[in-house]
A and B are shown apart, each in its own frame.
Chain A
Amino acid sequence: MKAAIVVFPGTNRERDMAIALRRVTGQAPRMIWHHETDLSSVDLVVLPGGFSYGDYLRCGAMAAHSPIMGAVRDFAAKGGHILGVCNGFQILTESNLLPGALLRNADLRFLSQDCHLRVEVEGTPFTRRWKKGDIFRTPLAHGDGNYTADEATLAMLEGEGRVAFRYADAKGRVQADDRASNPNGSVNSIAGILSENKRICGMMPHPEDLVDPLMGGEDGLPLFEGLVEALVR
């Protein structure tokens, strides 16, 4: 699997993501400055976390118009695999590569804590190492992670099995109005979603920050191992 990480001005979790990808592929991913436009021979494009353009205007809104995003759209149109985490998820929704939007957290404060995610769909490139209903822990760190979408979009996401992960408690119970388990107030406790072809995944929490027992666990590792498995050439 050849992975590339897109770096925008203000991106700040590109190194975390590179560590996670190196861990599973054994090689350093390509870092792509947002002015570049060449994604040839790339199997996975990652839009990492951070504060692209300082979150000015709206989170991800300015990055969605940077030169690399034209290439990312073409890559998506050709069936390429894309993972967007945190700010990367926001950029994907701002680019209309994924539906919905991410609002300020329900209590209007930045949140940095561990959360638990319940895997909602199995067999996708992003979830194939898990079974439906599996629970894993992962850090989250964001001010604008409150996922929302209109009724029709939600019905579509739920109906087509495109909700990848939901916030849950440690036992896997999902309760959208419970701030302890659904800390940012996301609708239907949605933490991550998939594109129609299940090749684009956007999620708010940071599995890349929990891939080493030294840092407190390897709970996030299956996501990256699954991608390697799915995209092996």
Chain B
Amino acid sequence: MNKPVTVDESLAREFGLTAEEYGRVLSIMGRTPSLTELGVFSVMWSEHCSYKSSRKWLRGLPTKAPWVIHGPGENAGVVDIGQGYAAIFKMESHNHPSFIEPYQGAATGVGGILRDVFTMGARPVANLNALRFGSPENPGTRRIVDGVVRGIGGYGNCVGVPTVGGEINFHAAYDGNPLVNAMTVGIARQDRIFLSAAAGVGNPVVYVGSRTGRDGIHGATMSSAEFDEDALSKRPTVQVGDPFIEKLLIEACLELMATDAIVAIQDMGAAGLTSSAVEMAGKGGVGIELDLDAVPQREPNMTAYEMMLSESQERMLMVLRPDRTELARKIFEKWELDFAIIGHLTETGHIVIKHKGQLEADIPLEPLADEAPVYDRPSIIPTKPAALGSVHAPLSLDAMLLKLVSSPDLASRAWVWNQYDSTVGGQTVRRPGAADAAIVKVDDTEIGLALTTDCTPRYCQADPRAGGAQAVAEAWRNITATGARPLAVTDNLNFGNPEKPEIMGQFIAALEGMGEACKVLDFPIVSGNVSLYNETRMPDGTTQAILPTPAIGGLGVLDDVSTAIGLGMQANKDVVLIGETKGELGQSVWLREILGREEGPAPTVDLAAEKRNGDFVRAEIQAGQVTACHDLADGGILVAVAEMIMASGTGCELESPDSGIRPEAFWFGEDQARYLVCVEDAQAFCARAAQVGVPARLMGRSGGNDLILPSGVTISAARLKSAHETFFPALMDK
């Protein structure tokens, strides 16, 4: 930025602002803005920071419950988990950076979401993720999977927060736009929660953490545009993470948070110093003045524009009590982190930025926030696919099962989990794959958290409303299946270009479905993130959108963590199916993997049945009547039985269903609101289910080491496991 730049509409457009938006800037400022001012407006009004296409629809989501302490609007959601403790959690995307530079994109995604959580006073205790990659056949997929998995592990392992769960799908729609959604859960005392609203005119504004460099400038704007063929040339806009500094920052912040020094604190995430300063002052209704000469800098000759727009990682902004500044400085010096007073709060209601004696920016905060664009973009209601019609199984039941358990979306994820430290902290009660949700104990209590991430994008593509509801319901089910009480949700809404009416229609419908499910299941949304423009420009000029992917991060609580159960088949038990089976094969994994068809309607989501069946299952688990439980999802009953067998090595003999449904539809249909459970006495159990109107039926008896199909055909647990475990090593270690 050495040569003088003319600020005008064409530069504004380069910065991602429309002509109309630039007109608003001019009217707020009453003059032509400086380059730094234009930079501030462009990032604050980017889709990433302003939610301008989504905000109208996000307002409709249910966010309240008696146990919700802070809903959306803070750095992360906060819920009451009992005994004076709160869980603080959020999920956030790092999709665009992860395509450009998979390792750093994923690593800094983890780093960013960790900061959102510990900035509120929580010690991070668990990481999860939701990942979508391109087709395994796409030659680029392997590089991205490798980099993303290494990046997540590289960051999470080093900071010492266990990665305890997650989900992975493969689909060609993600070939040019993978999704990396990272979730962090932290624990704090309810009376030690820190917020971002600045207060106290004259109070010092303090910068801590890493120094500011030129990395990630305009990252937020990049994340708000589609990819084109030059995407990889944008690598310099991807930030580089340093998990070692993050670890020090966590410890230093938590040490400072044990004192009364902090008035307000916020991490510098997307749009760095700009968004943290603007949001802290804006929320507090005060002004803020920054002197950029005091900002710790990694490179010489940085301009005000560069410093305000840099997305260098591992930085925090705080407002401190003036009489505690030296105490705070000592703590950060102990941890060998930079600490600098870079400004103070004012009563002007403006953000004023000075650098080398020059006034670089002077923007009124109220209109910057209040006049930020909000769009009600045109939308087309998606049409539902036609009914599937009759389909027939081309293979035997056992051959189809083996094919399914080895298919990309159902194959063992152990290759991935085994690169993530899942035990650090010493509180991991159920590791990845051991239960439907990961279980983490809250240190020094008997409380357990049940954590999961879920979404079935192919359902969302076929029927966004049903798919949105299903994603919420599946998260709720996965928590329920451990015996935990589902409390709240964080969401990560990944969609294509909202300027396309059909994409906007998907978004609106998916949110309607999610909202309805959250309401019926009493499972409010307390935090989240929206990632739009997930599209790839093809050589012919068209763009391909991802499958609509509203990923759900669910959190539940167990008052006594020792009551949690896993999914591994227990020996010598009755195996009972809960829920109604009609044999819905539309959009099923079976249809795609066995017949090569992605067709038909998504399965019906009956939220009343979800609630009834789930509440029954949870009550039975809490009463000690259930020794293993697995929710039915991709692949239906038979895949779920196989997964239970593979988890423990204990087999099961299945009875003939005698259901009047074609076998492939019965065994592989993806009807919702169902669970498989191991119980001592199916008769008594089913009688209790009948009393509350929950369908339940005996499916078989566990024992031995084999899966015995009703036909008498036998598959050993070992054979299932070896089929299950081939996919990832074959893809990645070749």
Contact = CB atoms under 8 A, between A and B. Distances in A.
A137 interface: no
Contacts of B150: 109-110
A15 B242 contact: no
Contact of B423 (A33, A53, A209): A209
Interface stretch (A5-13, A39-47, A195-203): A5-13
A112 B426 contact: no
A215 B154 CA distance: 24
Given A12-B159, A113-B418, A51 B243 contact: yes
A16 B243 contact: no
A55 interface: yes
A208 interface: yes
A79 interface: no
What bracket does the count of chain B residues touching chain A fall in? 35 or more
A139 to B, nearest CB: 5
B429 A215 contact: yes
Given A9-B336, A10-B247, A110-B419, A141 B426 contact: no
A19 B441 CA distance: 13
B426 A51 contact: no
B160 interface: yes
Interface in A108-135: 109-113
Interface string A50-74: 1101111000000000000000000
Nearest to B161: A12
B244 A15 contact: no
B374 interface: no
A53 B219 CA distance: 28
B244 A112 contact: no
B415 to A, nearest CB: 9
B561 A9 contact: no
Given A9-B244, A54-B158, A214-B561, A16 B418 contact: no
Nearest to A35: B334
Contacts of B247: 9-10, 12, 51, 54
Contacts of A10: 158, 244, 247-248
B426 A209 contact: yes
B722 to A, nearest CB: 13
Nearest to B251: A9
Interface string B414-436: 00011111111111110100000
A16 B422 CA distance: 13
A13 B244 contact: no
A15 B561 contact: no
Contacts of B561: 214
A118 to B, nearest CB: 21
Nearest to B146: A109
Contact of A112 (B243, B336, B421): B421
B153 interface: yes
A185 to B, nearest CB: 15
B157 interface: yes
B443 interface: yes
A107 B146 CA distance: 13
B443 A9 contact: no
B429 A112 contact: no
Interface of A: 9-10, 12-13, 15-16, 19-20, 33, 49-51, 53-56, 107, 109-113, 139, 141, 143, 206, 208-209, 212, 214-216
Given A110-B153, A141-B424, 4 more contacts: A55-B244, A141-B422, A214-B562, A216-B431
Q: What 5 A-B pairs have minimum CB-CB distances, sorted nearest first?
A: A12-B160, A54-B244, A16-B426, A141-B421, A51-B158
15 contacts: A9-B244, A12-B160, A49-B424, A51-B158, A54-B158, A54-B244, A55-B244, A110-B153, A112-B157, A112-B420, A139-B423, A206-B423, A208-B426, A215-B429, A216-B429
